[in-house]
Amino acid sequence: MLHNGAGRATAARMLDLLRTAGTLSRVELAEQSGLTAATITNVVRRLIDDGLVHEVGRESLQGRGQPRRLLELDPSAWYAVGIQVDRTTTTIVVVDFAGGRVASAGLRGSGTSGPEETVTTLADHVTDLLHSAQVPRDRVLGVCLVTHGPQDRERGVLLTAQPTPEWLEYPLTSTLSQRLGLPVLLENDATAAALGEQWAGTVATDTFGLIYMASGIGGGVVVDGDAYRGRASNAVEIGHVALSGGRTPCVCGNRGCAQAEAGPRTVVEQVLADEPLAERLGVRGAIDSTLADFERVARAWRAGDPAATAILERSARWVGQAAVTLVNLFDLDTVVLAGPAFVTTGPLYQRLILAELEERALSRTLSAPTVLLSTDVGTAAAIGGALHVLRTIPVDRDTLQHRSSAPAPEGEP
């Protein structure tokens, strides 16, 4: 029955529930999915036959009836790779079928390299990482390439000429797929981080916003469990919300955008404007080192430097204003912070964004706002991308048969 669309969707739902909960009994699966016990029994039998799920001991029922057998995903059934790449940073993660991190690597960003060179570098690093983690390539379900928008996810191309003109419409996913011999999906970084938070994080609601800060500021929103992507996977551009009192010209042509007033590049430029401070913090200002420079400012804040603290606090209040708009637009009470710029500064932004929401969010009297730091704050987008692969590429016998007859990747026998 898993070979028809409805059966496949039911199986995918069971796998999602198990991935989030860790272990569940058949009765709990029925309760949480609203399906009948008979349907659950059939679907679970097939998942066990396919080697995706196994039974792990029993749940004690305090003497009443037969104890329930618990189910969990077999972590080694399949693996997935998430690659987050932008101009200043690259993260590659390998996760197992249960969503656990098996291996990860942090590399330089693409800088001003063209897409051809970047794809070759990424393919080599993925191959090395799989090899060193002893994950066989034929057990890798797929790869998700996570980067900034706008994108055409169907065709696997970026709809922007950043960071260089060759990136516009370059066949990104098909080229990487050819190099690796694996299916490759494309996803927006903030959306991927939100998906990761939804399926593997600690956020206790299925409606929340996410602010993603790397060298720029992006946003994502999950409403009733569904990520909102917009037309070109570039929704919730919270970095380009004009803030009240903001005057700084932005690359988008507007003035006072959150990114222009408060983004990591702006923070770095404010430090550079104070020469003795830049000297003291070791901030040099190269475009491709924005995140590294931002991290220097963050460490100075943590060490109690008053000038670094003032600059970061100013940024955090502006981002808090953008968060108010995010919360008001989508009727949210929970905002998650993710992305490499929050690795050190997370607690500072968390506190000041919460303060802005508590003071100005429209719904604050109905429901107290919550600001959370992502479980994997620095690598959330890559993890989310890998989970997206596990959730969307079908894992039944058809996939297995198709895979075993697929051609080997380039350069392998």
Span interacting with Zn ion, options 23-31, 102-110, 235-243, 274-282, rule CB under 5 A: 235-243
The Cα–Cα gap between 32 and 28 comes to 6
Binding to Zn ion, residues 195-224 (CB under 5 A):
none
The Cα–Cα gap between 107 and 91 comes to 6
- Percent of the chain that is helix, strand, coil (3-state, to 5): 45, 20, 35
Options 21, 61, 161, 252; binder of Zn ion; rule CB under 5 A: 252
- Cβ-contact 272, 283 below 8 angstroms: yes
The Cα–Cα gap between 307 and 296 comes to 13
Per CB under 5 A, does 240 bind Zn ion? yes
Q: How many CB atoms lie within 10 A of CB 286?
A: 12
Options 15, 103, 250, 377; binder of Zn ion; rule CB under 5 A: 250
Site string for Zn ion, 256-285 (x = CB under 5 A): -x----------------------------
- Cβ-contact 44, 36 below 8 angstroms: no
Site string for Zn ion, 138-177 (x = CB under 5 A): ----------------------------------------
Binding to Zn ion, residues 89-108 (CB under 5 A):
none
How is residue 104 annotated by DSSP?
Answer: E
Between 248 and 370, whose beta carbon lies closer to Zn ion? 248
Between 5 and 253, whose beta carbon lies closer to Zn ion? 253
> Closest approach of Cβ 252 to Zn ion, in Å?
3
DSSP string, 201-218: S----S-EEEEEESSSEE
Could you identify the residue written with the tokens 């790449």?
85
Q: How many CB atoms lie within 10 A of CB 391?
A: 17
The Cα–Cα gap between 88 and 263 comes to 14
Span interacting with Zn ion, options 148-156, 223-231, 242-250, 326-334, rule CB under 5 A: 242-250
Between 28 and 237, whose beta carbon lies closer to Zn ion? 237
Between 135 and 250, whose beta carbon lies closer to Zn ion? 250
Between 210 and 238, whose beta carbon lies closer to Zn ion? 238
Number of residues that bind Zn ion (CB under 5 A): 5
- For residue 98, the one-letter residue type is A
Between 37 and 251, whose beta carbon lies closer to Zn ion? 251
Per CB under 5 A, does 73 bind Zn ion? no
Span interacting with Zn ion, options 29-37, 224-232, 238-246, 304-312, rule CB under 5 A: 238-246
- Cβ-contact 228, 196 below 8 angstroms: no
Span interacting with Zn ion, options 88-96, 114-122, 251-259, 368-376, rule CB under 5 A: 251-259
Q: How many CB atoms lie within 10 A of CB 204?
A: 9
Residues near Zn ion, by CB under 5 A: 240, 250, 252, 254, 257
